Structure 1
Amino acid sequence: MICKQCGAQISDDVKFCPNCGTKIEKEEKESIKEWYFVENNQSNGTYTEQEMKDFYKQGRITNNTYVWKSPMPDWIPYSKSDLYEDAEEVQTEKVEEKQSEESGNQWYYINVNNEQSGPVDESTIVSLIEQRVIGANTYVWQNGMKDWEFVKNTPLSIYLKSNQKPETQAANNPVYIQKKSIGLYLLLSIVTCGLFGLYWLYSIAKDVDTLCKNQSSSMSAGNVLLLSVLTCGIYTIYFFYKACKNLHALHFSNGYVAADDSIITMVLALFGFSIISCCILQSTLNDIQTFAQ
């Protein structure tokens, strides 16, 4: 270190110049560009003590980064240098900043049962949006927000635009279907040797058509029943699969999303258990009538 008053070479730890007696201020010491550090296998410098500490805070310099200044005999790790004296304080600040950042990114949301869920991180809530568990009109909240907001009114709305199709939305349409007793309909189908099951299939197809009438792939209940009879039940395999897919694609004003039982209903119908597929699909319709109003 050099005294600015007389130019004499002095030790770093002295408070007064032994040559002229000038007081060596810490601020003066920290303003001298005398430090080097290794970056990408190359010497980088010179920098002041404060700049080196700033690099450490930013992560550009780590505990294992080699540093040097004159008259040090050799390069040493940052953790063994005089610069490391404030390292614990810096690490504490980093941890606090990380915790604060993570806390700010935690989200809460109102599920289909009108219950609060969370906290979940942003990647999780984005995944829920992509899976359509959360819709445009689902209430969400995170630290810093004054009140609960619809997803569509938050920064999360960017994920809605790319993952939800407007043509399948039923947000503004009232649900005009009635709940039906699965147990009663199943009993009547068994007692009538399947004859009542045809009416049940027609009733389900009619409710599905009512909910999905804005979709180009929807079919009238009469056509579903006719094709099922003409194909000796083969068409019902396709119908169960498509009906479940269409219902799952709908979005309601409260954010409710129907379960996707397309695979299980199709497989059951394929093995001759269409009556069980009717039970599952009717349960989905009953849930829509209950939760999507």
Structure 2
Amino acid sequence: MQDATTSPETLWHYEKNGVRKDGVDQQQVIALIRNGTLAYGSLVWKKGMADWAKIEQTELRQHLEETSPPPLSGAMVNNKIVWLLAFAPIIGYLLESFVAGLFGATEAQWERAMAANRYWYVTLALNIALSVLDSKRLKQAGHDISRFKGWVFVVPVYLYQRAKLLNQNLAYFITWIVCFFITIGAHQS
């Protein structure tokens, strides 16, 4: 990647899927932007920078703007689904109770089903479905969600990463954790 005319001071390094990619010149970085490998939110670094920075915070921003508009800011992203997701442990518990009532002929059967946590998969499916739906909305808003990979299936990790991506506070992450512990207590009583 480096030729005799390229000095280490002009080489860019970038991150892709948690892996550092080393030593590309500016023309190669521009090509990576144009082919979609690098986009808003991609991390880059070159000699002289104190730390890694989002590509849009560097001189490379102008090349991003040639290819696509910036993603919507966190304040502009619709958070209705993520708030449903934040309360999903409790909503899921109520759905589990409803399903147990449908399949339990008596109150005793319902109580046994709830005590045995027989319909746990209802809450799991709800959490995953809402995470996937929310991640699709983030993608539609222009955000690079490739860093989430399979984390949409591990809801608290997804919520944490989402808050960091959008520069939002951790309110929905904390809400999900609290709701999760409330439902654990409900299942044990």
**TM-score category of the 2 structures, normalised to the smaller one:** 0.3 to 0.5
Structure with the bigger RCO (C-alpha within 8 Å, sep 6+) is 2
Structure with higher helix content: 2
Normalising by the residue count of structure 2, what TM-score does the alignment of the two structures yield?
Answer: 0.41
Q: Which has the larger radius of gyration?
A: 1
TM-score, normalised on structure 1? 0.30
